[in-house]
Amino acid sequence: MKASLEKKLSAQLQEKNISKEEVQRQLDLFKNGVPYLQVERPAIAGDGILKLSDAESVSYKEKYDAIIGNGEIQLKKFVPASGAASRMFKQLESMLLEYSEIDNEVLKKDKENCRFAATFIQNIRKFAFFKLLSEKLSANGLEIEELLKNGEYRPLIEYTLSEAGLSYSSMPKALIQFHQYDNGSRSATALQEQFAEGCAYARMPDSSVRLHFTISPEFLDDVKLQSELIISEWKKKDAGIQFMPEFSFQQPSTDTIAVDENNEPFIDSDGRVLFRPGGHGALIENLNELNTDAVFIKNIDNVVPDHLRDDTIFWKKVIGGVGLNIREEVFAMINKLSEVAGKKADASLLEEAEKLCTEKLNLSLPETYAVAAVENKPHVLIDVLNRPIRVCGMVKNEGEPGGGPFFIKKEGLVNKLQIVESSQLNKDDAGQMKILASSTHFNPVDLFCILKDYSGEAFDLNRFTDPETAFIASKSKDGKSLKALERPGLWNGAMAHWITVFIEVPVSTFNPVKTVNDLLRPQHQ
Q: What is the pLDDT of residues 494-509, one digit of tens each?
A: 999 999 999 999 999 9
472-490: string of b/e by CB count within 10 Å (b at 16+)? Answer: eeeeeeeeeebbbbbbbbb
Choosing from 122, 137, 170, the residue where a domain stops is 170
In a domain, 333, yes or no: yes
The residue among 36, 30, 32 whose CA lies nearest residue 406 is 36
Task: Check whether residue 435 and residue 288 sit in a common domain.
Answer: yes
In a domain, 286, yes or no: yes
Task: Check whether residue 101 and residue 80 sit in a common domain.
Answer: no
pLDDT at 83: 74
Task: Check whether residue 406 and residue 503 sit in a common domain.
Answer: yes
In a domain, 423, yes or no: yes
Q: What is the rounded CA–CA span in Å between residue 517 and residue 271?
A: 40
In a domain, 214, yes or no: yes
Task: Check whether residue 351 and residue 402 sit in a common domain.
Answer: yes
Backbone angles phi, psi at 366, to 5 degrees: -65, 160
In a domain, 4, yes or no: no
In a domain, 391, yes or no: yes
Who contacts 445 (Cβ-Cβ below 8 Å, separation ≥6)? 297, 298, 299, 302, 402, 491
pLDDT at 3: 63
How many domains does one find in the chain? 2
Contact 442, 402 (CB under 8 A): yes
pLDDT at 1: 55
pLDDT at 488: 85
Choosing from 144, 170, 196, the residue where a domain stops is 170
Choosing from 137, 170, 203, the residue where a domain stops is 170
pLDDT in tens, 223-255: 999 999 999 999 999 999 999 999 999 888 999
Confidence label for 11 from pLDDT (cuts 50, 70 and 90) = confident
DSSP of 431-471: HHHHHHHT--EE--SEEEEE-B-TTSPBP-GGGG--TT--E
Task: Indicate the pairing of strand 404-409 with strand 242-248.
Answer: unpaired
Task: Check whether residue 163 and residue 283 sit in a common domain.
Answer: no
User: The domain that contains 277 carries what CATH number?
Assistant: 3.90.550
In a domain, 2, yes or no: no
Task: Check whether residue 135 and residue 193 sit in a common domain.
Answer: no
For the segment 273-285, the average pLDDT, to the nearest whole number, is 89
Task: Check whether residue 59 and residue 166 sit in a common domain.
Answer: no
Task: Indicate the pairing of strand 75-80 with strand 294-298.
Answer: parallel
The residue among 420, 318, 307, 408 whose CA lies nearest residue 364 is 408
> What sign has the CA pseudo-torsion 272, 278, 279, 285?
negative
Task: Check whether residue 215 and residue 113 sit in a common domain.
Answer: no
Task: Check whether residue 271 and residue 320 sit in a common domain.
Answer: yes
In a domain, 409, yes or no: yes
Q: How would you class 414 by CB atoms within 10 Å of its CB: exposed for 0-12, middle for 13-18, buried for 19 or more?
A: buried
Task: Check whether residue 490 and residue 359 sit in a common domain.
Answer: yes
Q: What domain range includes position 151? A: 96-170
Task: Check whether residue 369 and residue 485 sit in a common domain.
Answer: yes
The residue among 519, 525, 507 whose CA lies nearest residue 399 is 507
308-347: string of b/e by CB count within 10 Å (b at 16+)? Answer: bbeebbbbbbbbbbbbbbbbeebbebbebbeebbeeebee
pLDDT in tens, 383-431: 999 999 999 999 998 766 567 999 999 988 899 999 998 888 999 999 9
For the segment 302-330, the average pLDDT, to the nearest whole number, is 96
pLDDT at 474: 87
Task: Check whether residue 210 and residue 139 sit in a common domain.
Answer: no
The residue among 130, 112, 232 whose CA lies nearest residue 179 is 130
